[in-house]
Structure 1
Amino acid sequence: MQRPDPDRQAEAHAVAETRFPPDLMYAAARLYYLEDANQAEVARRLSTSRATVSRLLSEARRQGIVRIDVVFPEVVDSADLAARVASALDLERVYLSQTSASAHPGRALAPALSEALESVGLASGDVLLVSSGRTVYEAAQFELPRLPGVMVAPTVGGQDEPEAWYQTNEITREVAYKIGGRPTFLYAPALPGADLYASLLDDPSIRRVLELWKSATCVVTGVGAPPLTRNSIPAFIPTDAASLRTAVADVCCRFYDREGKPVEFPGSDRLMATGLDVLQDIPYGIGVAVGADKVGGIIAGAHAGYFNHLVTDPETAAMLLSAAEKQQHPSSPSR
């Protein structure tokens, strides 16, 4: 006895499955795609099984009765989004990257940071301050505008951490090299002991950097996430300090709350870092930050005047705009 051919059986079965009346395929497709009926409802209304409905829909797509278009989302008007965020946060200008910076912040943000620096119009002899932090460090690895003769100085002392983005003098050197400027280094720990702090203030090279902070034309600073949520934070910051529970962010290792008010911690009076009041007086403050965890800190820092320009990506900009609008128009409490 000859055995049946499995391939021919499968082919015959497939042919049988596709011999659905066109009007039945159309009816199933209309109910499912246009009237939002699920497959069980379609089966009930057509007096058939769910398995048959699934085959009807598949064959309707194959024959072109159903056409599904997958449309690329409308391109965001970045100029409009940037202007709206700037207005909502009382910033002078917002610079957006062309793509999301979630995966590679430095690479994505470097062109926007370059544009921000170029728009400042720094000239030879002007002072540019740079903070530590991963985003600023990574952005500094890419092309920056040539600004010959500009003096570059760190905003915070050295940090005893292995990661490159905590090495403030090296970040200063890298930025100075990229722009063709002149680096000035701060040879002091970020948080010296009481006795050392007093002697450092008398050191001529330290005093020189402190004076540069006061005379700076521009500062580029990262905006840190809330300190108690971070995976990486300098060891000198006492994360068990009760005061830091209210901190939403920091700039230049200076913490602040959601109202933008400074948040102190044990030893912060000895911190070798640019003060928040000094940052408020610098003509051009460029905050560089992306991510949902930075939204509250960006908003608070912008309103407090710790920076007046922002470099970010479209995703963060949209979150900032949404959060700012909610703050301006809070929903009424439920009764």
Structure 2
Amino acid sequence: MANYNNRELIKVAYYYYKKGLTQAEIAEKMVMSRQRVNRLLKKAINENIVQIQIIDIDKYNLELETKLEEKFNLTQSVVISAMDEKNITSSLGIAGAEYLEKLIVKDDVIGVTWGKTLSEVANRLSYNNKLEAPVVQLIGGMDIAFTALQPDEITRTIAEKLGGKPYLLYAPAIVENKETKSAIMSDKSLKTTFENMEQCNIIIAGIGELSTNNTLYKQTQFNEKYIEHLLSRQCVGDIGFRWYNENGEIVEHDYKDKTIGYDILENKSNALVIGIAGGESKYKAILGALKGNYLDVLITDSDMAKRLIEE
């Protein structure tokens, strides 16, 4: 490579970074080829003549996000700064709502699951009636005490915020036998909802961990027998009540054919799947979801991101 004197190097860098000239304009002005201008600019960076500083890069966890995206082949990740466990759900809800507000455009069809974090997303979402985006409930309802966490309530809230029609699934998440499921699935009133599940191009999903300490699993529907059976099959997490193990492999279990709703794990199609979850207890569930390639976007906290990257 030719020897470039510092004056020439600094002048090219000054024209490019300070004056905003294009490489072609600099080449013409300094009577040299564009390739030479390009080499000089690279040399200026390599020799620290030009030092690029991105303000607030640590504040927004950009390096963690990039490492997550590269390691798990994600389209995008959003990492919020770590905080105590009691505030993490609301902070993830805010981050999820902000992400969706920038993402969703008219003609999008949104699919949703359920959970505390998705309830927070729904509540934090801004009103934008112009979008007229239909929102589809992807999983059946549950017999739980917390109405705000019900998938139909989350679906209604998001649809109202986006000015679209809610498509609700008036059915339980899990039934006693396959015959009951078949009867429900053949109901004409639910046909439109099931058809719209296939049309979703954006899916907003909570990630559930399998834990006997989780208060939601102490409700009537999620009894001890259900949990013990899933634990015996090495399940660690679920997306919409579709269970997988720590390697991200789909688990066959006795309740699989009794679960009503969209199987996100097996029917990912072309939808952009956005997983929103964080907190120490979710580690195995999030890692399994990433290993199974079930997510396109992950919104999580910085402690979780660091742990996933180090895994």
TM-score class normalised by the smaller sequence: 0.7 to 0.9
Q: Does the 8 Å contact 1:225/1:293 carry over to 2? A: yes
1:275 maps to: 263
Which secondary structure state, in structure 1, belongs to the residue aligned with residue 132 of structure 2?
Answer: coil
CA change 1:226–1:196 in 2 (3 A) is closer
1:95 maps to: 78
2:202 maps to: 218
Give distance in 2, aligned partners of 1:143 and 1:90.
Answer: 27
1:286 maps to: 274
- Which of 49, 58, 65 is matched with 1:82 structurally? 65
Q: Does 1:123 align with 2:90?
A: no
Q: Structure 2: which amino acid aligns with 1:219?
A: I
Q: Does the 8 Å contact 1:254/1:273 carry over to 2? A: no
- Which of 122, 134, 141 is matched with 2:116 structurally? 134
CA change 1:101–1:178 in 2 (3 A) is farther
Q: Does 1:239 align with 2:195?
A: no
Q: Does the 8 Å contact 2:242/2:265 carry over to 1? A: no
Deviation at residue 170 of structure 1 after TM alignment: 0.7
Which is higher, the Rg of structure 1 or of structure 2? Answer: 1
Deviation at residue 98 of structure 1 after TM alignment: 4.9
Give distance in 1, aligned partners of 2:122 and 2:268.
Answer: 23
Runs of 4 or more above 3 Å deviation = 74-77, 118-122, 234-237, 242-245, 276-279
Q: Does the 8 Å contact 1:279/1:306 carry over to 2? A: no
TM-score (norm 2): 0.72
Deviation at residue 75 of structure 1 after TM alignment: 4.7
Which secondary structure state, in structure 2, belongs to the residue aligned with residue 209 of structure 1?
Answer: helix
Q: Does the 8 Å contact 2:98/2:125 carry over to 1? A: no
Bigger CA drift: 292-301 or 215-224? 292-301
Q: Does 1:158 align with 2:141?
A: yes
Give distance in 2, aligned partners of 1:115 and 1:284.
Answer: 16
Give distance in 2, aligned partners of 1:225 and 1:217.
Answer: 25
Give distance in 2, aligned partners of 1:185 and 1:101.
Answer: 34
Q: Structure 2: which amino acid aligns with 1:285?
A: V
Q: Does the 8 Å contact 1:127/1:152 carry over to 2? A: yes
Gaps of 5+ in 1: 1-73, 324-335
Give distance in 2, aligned partners of 1:141 and 1:254.
Answer: 25
Bigger CA drift: 191-200 or 282-291? 191-200
Give distance in 2, aligned partners of 1:302 and 1:317.
Answer: 12
Matched residue count: 249
Give distance in 2, aligned partners of 1:111 and 1:138.
Answer: 7
2:158 maps to: 175
1:313 maps to: 301
TM-score (norm 1): 0.68
Q: Does the 8 Å contact 1:292/1:319 carry over to 2? A: no
Deviation at residue 312 of structure 1 after TM alignment: 1.2
1:263 maps to: 251
Deviation at residue 121 of structure 1 after TM alignment: 3.9
Q: Does the 8 Å contact 2:74/2:296 carry over to 1? A: yes
CA change 1:214–1:199 in 2 (3 A) is same
Bigger CA drift: 95-104 or 253-262? 95-104
Give distance in 2, aligned partners of 1:242 and 1:78.
Answer: 35
CA change 1:172–1:244 in 2 (3 A) is farther
Q: Does the 8 Å contact 1:156/1:274 carry over to 2? A: yes
Name the % identity: 24
Q: Deviations over 1:41-83 (max 9, x none)?
A: xxxxxxxxxxxxxxxxxxxxxxxxxxxxxxxxx9555111111
Q: Structure 1: which amino acid aligns with 2:78?
A: Y
1:295 maps to: 283
